[in-house]
Amino acid sequence: MFSKIASIALGVAILPSLLVSAAPTQLHKQQVTVVSNCINSGQVALTFDDGLYQYELDIIKHLGESKATFFLNGNSESDGDGRMSYNDLLLSALSTRGYKKMFLWSDDTQDGNSAPVDQSKGVFDLVAAAYPEPRMILGHSVYNSTANDVVPYGVDKLTTKGYKLVAVDTCMGNEGEWPYEWVGQPQTGKWQC
């Protein structure tokens, strides 16, 4: 019993130092903008989470001249319906660590929750039916079915309807804005979240 209480107390005591130790070398405090949709009519931002894996080149091939955004190893905390949850504490922690933006989405293909291909394609059908309403769609680049069934279907469906598929910087109206902060060269070797 004592060791369990001591472990919990140690974890609580260490947690703040872990948050700081992973932070950039120069700390910043700024407002973190939550982005969950494009701002311009006729635009859709396709976003892909949890890569890099083996299907990103397939997705890029299926995009043709269209653009998308890939979020690398995007672990998130779900609120139970598949959407990332956030609160003031999280936004404050992100701000302290130098983050400028936090990306959510307006539509989720649910491929990350093992949705059947037809269900994921149905998301693109609903978005296409809402043309020219701006949207931001979440998919996951780690699934062959997403890369080679859902994406080609979705790109064709949306572009045929008239949507322009853009990266998130264009979607936000800030073409060319780099929403990340450089903190140094990537680490090599094994790592763990």
Q: Which two tokens stand for residue 50?
A: 């949890």
**Burial degree of 77 (CB within 10 A; 0-12, 13-18, 19+):** exposed
Residue with more model confidence, 93 or 12: 93
- CATH number at 25-171: 3.20.20.370
pLDDT at 93 (0 to 100): 77
Rounded CA gap, 119 and 177, in Å? 33
Antiparallel, parallel or unpaired: β 43-51 and 69-72: parallel
Antiparallel, parallel or unpaired: β 135-140 and 107-108: parallel
For residue 32, give the 3-state DSSP assignment.
coil
The answer to whether the beta carbons of residues 47 and 111 sit under 8 Å apart is no
Q: Please write the tens of the pLDDT for every residue from 102-138.
A: 888 999 999 999 999 999 999 999 999 999 999 999 9
Query: Nearest Cα to 29, choosing from 93, 87, 90?
Result: 93
The answer to whether the beta carbons of residues 124 and 159 sit under 8 Å apart is no
pLDDT at 34 (0 to 100): 84
Rounded CA gap, 82 and 167, in Å? 22
**Amino acid identity, residue 26?**
Q
pTM score = 0.70
Q: Which two tokens stand for residue 12?
A: 């609580």
Q: Please write the tens of the pLDDT for every residue from 148-165.
A: 999 999 999 999 999 999
Residue given tokens 């083996």 in the structure block: 54
Work out the pLDDT band at 12, boundaries 50, 70, 90. very low
Query: Nearest Cα to 44, choosing from 100, 91, 106?
Result: 106
Query: Nearest Cα to 136, choosing from 65, 39, 53?
Result: 39
Strand partners, 139: 48
Q: Across all residues in the chain, what is the average pLDDT?
A: 76
